[in-house]
Each structure stands twice: as structure tokens, then as C-alpha cells.
Chain A
């Protein structure tokens, strides 16, 4: 086998891994869309906010330090402690729960039965708000996030595959962080499926997803369900934030990962959890292989930004509801 072939395989594998990272973000979108029909643009900012909060708790940063200092003329920055990652994660989850509650109380409750585009717009307003709020609370500096997930090329994979491709071949490269991400994503999806299939709340969630009004009429509280769903989405955002934040630090750009999740979302279908995972795989592999086979040799590279969207668009022309989306039935 020529080395070129193995390089192709390597790119393919890394594409799968990149896909998992995109799926993590896309999952949050799917959860909220399923339960409330809201296309939640704020998901990316939620990931940023969750990661900032986590780092803030870990390092004992004082929230709103800058504001306090400017208003009162004090000089406070840190509480002077550091928390173990585990405790900080639990506290962050608490914050995301409060956040879900507040969103329901101040935004969603007032926008029941509005058109999807209005709800979409409201989540964009929410995203703006959280951007400003997060910066105000934890300042806009870059922060290092470390919760103990291994990083770096996986040496074991490399060495055990080095014999395949001859002298020039180092063995397959896989990032340990990505491998952990894949494992975490698998556990996460398993947990979500189990939750929605085998718990009472999960059943209520599915009922709401199927038909709001029917669910209401059998006594399911829509508002509680929304709080739960947003809290779960906040939890997923935290995981996405941890994975992406470990990669390149917690900073504003983290909120832009939403843009990488959108093609995954339309490819997989807005309403399907497996769709988000499979869509992630297709987008990840598709963009990496295109860059490897066509982008770099013929187009001068850097095709990844648009290729995912073009791929998704071409795909949609043949299947307008995405891969796993519910079939769109239109009646006059």
C-alpha cells in the first residue's frame, strides 16, 4: 500500500474526530429545537459562558470584579483559592440551571406561540446579552482551561500503526483530546437517550416534542419542560465549552463554534440526536477529505469554511428535511 493511501486514511480518521467536536455543539441545538421549536442561536455563547464560569470558579475569580472596582474604587480580583475541577463543574451546572430558569421566566414565557423567526431573533438578542454579561462577569481576557483531559498526539496509536506505511510513515496521528471527546460524546448521547426513553421526565419531553398542545392537555407543564431542556442544553454547552476550551483557551472565539455546528445541524436534521452525530461525521470527514484531495492541490486551500455549507446545501436539495429530520408534509 502506498503512503498516500494511509495519509488518506489518517485524514479520514481525523475528519471523524473533528466531526465529533462539531456534533457536541450541534447536540445542544437539537435538544432545544425538538422540545420547543426554537432555533437557539445562543448555543455557542452558552458554551463560552459555561466555560468562562467554570474557569472563573476554578481560579477563584471574583465575578464582576472590574465593575466593582470601577464603581467602588476597590482593587479586588481573586478570592485567592482554586477549586478542584469537579467542584467547579458542579457549580457551573448550578449556574446553567439558574440561567435556564431565568431564560424561561424572562424570555420564553412571553414569546409563546410566536413565529419561529421571532423566537430565533430573540435567541440572538439573548446571545448579545450573554456576550456582554459574560465579559462583564469574568472579563474578556483569554483563560486557560484545564480539567485534566489528556491532550497531544496519541503516541500509542502512532507507534502501533507505524509499521503500515513504510519508512516515511510515522503512524496514524490522533489527538488524545479528540479521542476523549469521542468517548464523552458517546456517553452523553447514551445518557440522553436513556433519559428520554426510561424516565418520566424524558417521556414528558418526548410528548412535548411530538405535540405541544396534546402534551399540555394531558397535564404536562410546558414551562417546567422548557426549564429542563434549557438546563440540559446548558450542560451540553458546558461539555462543548470544555472540549473546545481545552484546545485553544477560553476566549470570545469559542462562541463562534456555533457556525461550525450549523451545517451539521441541517445535514442531520434539526430534530434528530443521531442526526447530529452522523451529520458531524459527514461534515468532518467531508471537509477534511475535500481539503486533502481537492482544496490544497487545486484551490490553494482554506476551503473548510464554505465547503461544509456547500455540502449541506447540495445534500438538502435532494433531501430538504436533512438526513434524519421529520418528513415535511405540506397541506393546503
Chain B
């Protein structure tokens, strides 16, 4: 009991909230089992925020207050970070972890702070009628699954009857997310679906021997952490054609393909945004951030897939804040203004070109009913000799006829369980 009181006293003195500026907290994981993915994302996010402050003096005249909080990808730490930073006027949260997202969905909704879970978290949160404060634009896992199938259709002239698709997935809720969508699509297009769960990421012999035996035409992967490089290595080992192996956007970064070396050449993954550092914004980043020694972390992540995702995600929330300023006419906005702006959010090619990100990501818009954007993703491919990812398709629209009923059903179940009334008229 003695220790407890000391702890509380310390915690009290240490965390005094300071309300100022436009606050964007970012829950990062630069250590722990998934640091590999956490570091580049956090660097990209931080560098974009630094750029805004250094180049433009913030957003609409208000400095950006960027808070990083380390979660180690653990739910407890995420909740601690949320409670620690929400008093500082945080505008929007990006939990960067499925577990933390789920824990924060009810908390943030009752606190009135919006959450943007970009390409992860709860898929059915795309239904704005039920999830008032949760946004998961521009794409979610079910969109991803559908885009994979669309890509198969494109490669086979629109007919994939009798083809065999294997889903290699992490044996967790996240890994099982695409199964209902893929099952529905399998029925629609007449392909065969096999689901192959992976229990222990670093050792996947059984799984890949099964794929070798059953001779699947395509493999898609919902992997995470060490599972990704191991799977790519094993696929190369059994000489599975790498261009028929398509991972989700969390299985498609440099850290996933580099350990396998040349064997990973040709591996494909879904992409939420374009790759590389061939964008005007990088000139600005170099001038205002890198050269001033303000780069986040070790400064060696520039141009990687997840670094770009960090930039993209920072861009999406800061643009929403800008739109909120325009709409409300005041420069200091509240989380509620932010939420309203996110619900009316739209971004197009012209605006992204102005930001120095031409041809970087799709245009989309959000509405009260639809918090998930238009459901668009592209496919990128790894070139092992040049060590770069290249986009090999345009942005592909998902088959919303299949996905919408699934979203409606899952969110209806959540609404019933938690007695939520539908919004939006």
C-alpha cells in the first residue's frame, strides 16, 4: 500500500496537462516484437508534422503539437497513453494496433474524440451510422481481400473459375478478418478457397508443405511481425511463383522482404499509397527537416513503404484539421470540430499535388453513413535487385456489393449488443 501512494504522488506531479496548439498524439511502437513496422511509420508521421511546423508554421497559423507515446504494441500501454494525452486537447487518435483500437473505440466515443484507424482495426467501423467517432478510410481489410480477388480476375481475363486461392493468415482475429469476404467472393466467382492459419510465425513448414502439396494457384497473406519474412522465405523455398503471392498492406514493407534477399523478387502486396521518394514533398522534407537535423529516429527510413504510410496518415489528419478550420472559421479547433470535418472529409488529386504528393494516393470522400472511404487499394511489387517497391496496378475499386452487406451485418450486431441507435437520419 505504501508503494501505491508513492506511485500516485509521482504520477500526479509528473503528468500535468498543458493545453496548447493543435495536438496530434501518435501511439507508436518503436520497441517490442513489432518495432520493425513501428519505427518507419512513426518516423514518417513525425517528420511530416515537423515539416508543417518548420515550413508553414503549423496549420492555419496554429503550431502543431505532436506527441509521441510508446505503446510497445501492448493494450495496457496504449490505454495509458490515451488517458495520459487526451487531456491535452488531442484532436484525433491513431492507435496503430488492432487491440488498442478495439479498447479505444468505446472510450473515445464516450469522450467525443475521433479515431482514425487507417487500414486496420474494426472493419465494420466503416458504418458511420453505428460508429459515430471511428473512421477507417481509405480502405479496410475486406476491401483488401476484394482487391486481391479483382487482381486475380484481371490477370486471368475475368475468369477464375476453379482456380485455387490459399489464405495464409496469422491465427488471430486480425488474420481471420478477410475470411467471410473471401468466402462470399469464392461463391460469386467460383474459385476454391483454403484457409491456412499460422500458429507460430517463425516456423511455417507445415503450412507451406500443404501449399506445395495442394498446388494452389494464388496465395494471399494476412501476416504480421516475423511471420511475413518467414512466409516469404518459405514461399521462395518451395519455389512458389512470387508474383502469385499477394500480401496485405501490413505484409508489404521493406523489413518483410529484405531478410529473404533475392528470393523475394516479384513478391506482391496491397498498397494504400504510392511508393518511393520521388515526390516533391521529399525536397521540402530534406530542406526543412533532414538538413536541419530534425529527422525523427535514426533518419534512415526515408522513402520506405511504412514511412510513406506515416506521411500519408499524418497528411490525412492534418488536412481534416485544415478543413475543420475552414468550416468553423476558427483556427483553434476542438475534437468535436475535428470529428465533423472528418465526416465531411474529401481529398482529391489537385489538393495532393499542391501538398507535394502528386499521384500518391486515391481521391476519396467520406460521409455520415460511410466512414470507410471509397474502398480503393492498389498492388505493389518488390524488385529485389533495385531494392524498391513499384506500383504495378492503378488503384482498384473493391467489390462493394459483396462487402457492404457484411459491414451492415457486423455493425448491426455490435449496435444490438451495445444498444446503439443508428444515426444519419
Contact = CB atoms under 8 A, between A and B. Distances in A.
Interface of A: 7, 10-11, 14-15, 17-18, 21, 65-66, 69, 73, 75, 77, 135, 139-142, 144-146, 151-153, 170, 173, 175, 244, 247-249, 251-254, 256-257, 260, 287-288, 291-292, 295-296, 300-305
A10 B209 contact: yes
B196 interface: yes
A248 B232 CA distance: 9
Contacts of A135: 31, 35
Contact of A304 (B35, B196, B199, B258): B199
B203 A253 contact: no
Contacts of B200: 260, 304-305
Contact of B196 (A288, A301, A305): A301
Given A248-B259, A288-B206, A142 B196 contact: no
Nearest to B37: A142
Given A14-B205, A152-B236, A247-B202, A253 B255 contact: no
B406 interface: no
Nearest to B228: A248
A288 B210 CA distance: 11
B164 to A, nearest CB: 14
B31 A253 contact: no
Given A140-B36, A249-B259, 5 more contacts: A140-B39, A142-B255, A144-B261, A173-B238, A288-B205
Contacts of B299: 75
A120 B30 CA distance: 28
**Residue picked from A14, A151, A152, A254, most chain B C-beta under 10 Å:** A152
Given A7-B213, A75-B293, A141 B255 contact: yes
Nearest to A15: B205
A113 B287 CA distance: 62
Given A253-B33, A291-B206, A152 B263 contact: yes
Nearest to B213: A7
Interface string B285-300: 0000000010001111
A146 B258 CA distance: 11
Nearest to A257: B202
The 9 closest A-B pairs by CB, nearest first: A249-B259, A253-B226, A302-B197, A302-B171, A302-B199, A140-B35, A248-B230, A142-B36, A305-B199
B410 to A, nearest CB: 21
A66 B296 CA distance: 11
A304 B202 CA distance: 12
Contacts of A252: 31-36
B222 to A, nearest CB: 13
23 contacts: A10-B209, A11-B206, A17-B205, A65-B298, A135-B35, A141-B39, A141-B298, A142-B36, A142-B255, A144-B261, A151-B237, A153-B237, A153-B238, A247-B202, A248-B226, A249-B226, A249-B255, A249-B258, A249-B259, A252-B35, A253-B225, A256-B202, A302-B171
A131 to B, nearest CB: 8
Interface of B: 30-36, 39, 171, 195-203, 205-207, 209-210, 212-213, 225-226, 229-230, 233, 236-239, 255, 258-259, 261, 263, 293, 297-300
Nearest to B33: A252
Consensus secondary structure, chain A interface? helix
Contacts of A142: 36, 229, 255, 258-259
A139 to B, nearest CB: 7
A173 B30 contact: no
A251 B236 CA distance: 20
A304 B293 contact: no
Contacts of B226: 248-249, 251, 253-254
Contacts of A146: 261
Contacts of A139: 298
Contacts of A7: 209, 213
A170 B238 CA distance: 10
Given A18-B205, A248-B226, A249-B259, A153 B233 contact: no
Contacts of B213: 7
Given A140-B31, A140-B39, A260 B258 contact: no
A140 B30 contact: yes
A21 B238 contact: no
Nearest to A287: B206
A73 B292 CA distance: 12
B199 A141 contact: no
A99 B7 CA distance: 34
**Residue picked from A15, A141, A151, most chain B C-beta under 10 Å:** A141
B298 A304 contact: no
A257 to B, nearest CB: 7
Contacts of B199: 301-305
Nearest to A21: B203
A95 to B, nearest CB: 22
A253 B223 CA distance: 14
A75 to B, nearest CB: 7
B252 to A, nearest CB: 14
Contacts of B229: 142, 248-249
B210 to A, nearest CB: 7
Contacts of B259: 142, 144-145, 248-249
Nearest to A10: B209
B233 A151 contact: yes
**Residue picked from A244, A251, A256, A296, most chain B C-beta under 10 Å:** A251
A173 B209 contact: yes
